[in-house]
Amino acid sequence: MAAPATDRRAQQDAHPSGDERFALLDKALKRARFEQDQLVELLHTAQEVFGHLSDDVLIYLARQLRLPPSRVLGVASFYHLFTFEPPGDHICTVCMGTACYVKGAEDVVRETSEAFDVPAGETTDDGRLTLWTARCVGSCGLAPVVVFDGTVLAKQTPQDLIAHVRELLAAEDAAAEEEAG
């Protein structure tokens, strides 16, 4: 049924931490006119801004939208794209849908996991790479598919993917070294 009529009275004060990222969320809240039915969009924004949904952020959203925290957590935890722990600098998601599976996705996961010493579903100890698996990302013609930092990589062998990630990390190391002088 329709969401209850919106409460447009003055909203709660800004987040007490003074963390500037909350200003971005406040802007989105204002754009959404604090409408409770905009919760999913606002969770998207929050995750984009903070990288993950912490309790602090969820409670803040609940207050601002005048929703019970249980409702906010209930919605956030229902959807698979929301994550409650900080992921690594790069997110590598291997599709395990059946079309990718028969083209060797399992090997891609296993070998990548071994190469970077990170179990599927987790992040490397240095926080640089998160390895996730997903089910059919809707690109089965390109199997096996990997989504790397939001970009679809087609027909990935374990060697392709590992080389891609190594190159990227090495380039970052080089850039950091240069900066350090």
Residues near ligand FES (CB under 6 A): 95, 97-100, 136-140, 143, 145
What contacts 76, CB < 8 A, 6 or more positions away?
43, 53, 58, 82, 84
Structure tokens at 99: 């079309």
Q: What are phi and psi of 140, to 5 degrees?
A: -60, -25
- DSSP-derived pairing of the beta strands 129-134 and 146-148: unpaired
As a whole number of angstroms, the distance between CA 4 and CA 95 comes to 39
Query: Applying CB under 8 A, what is the total number of residues that bind another protein?
Result: 61
Binding status of residue 24 toward another protein by CB under 8 A: no
Binding status of residue 152 toward another protein by CB under 8 A: yes
Minimum CB distance to ligand FES smaller for 15 or for 103 = 103
CB distance 145 to 153 below 8 Å: yes
Minimum CB distance to ligand FES smaller for 4 or for 138 = 138
Q: Write the CA distances from 100 to 80, 90, 116, integer angstroms.
A: 20, 22, 21
CB of 94 to ligand FES, least distance (A): 9
Minimum CB distance to ligand FES smaller for 14 or for 137 = 137
Interacting residues toward another protein by CB under 8 A: 1-3, 36-41, 43-44, 52, 55, 58-59, 62, 69-70, 73-85, 93, 96-99, 101-102, 104, 106, 109-110, 119-122, 132-143, 147, 150, 152
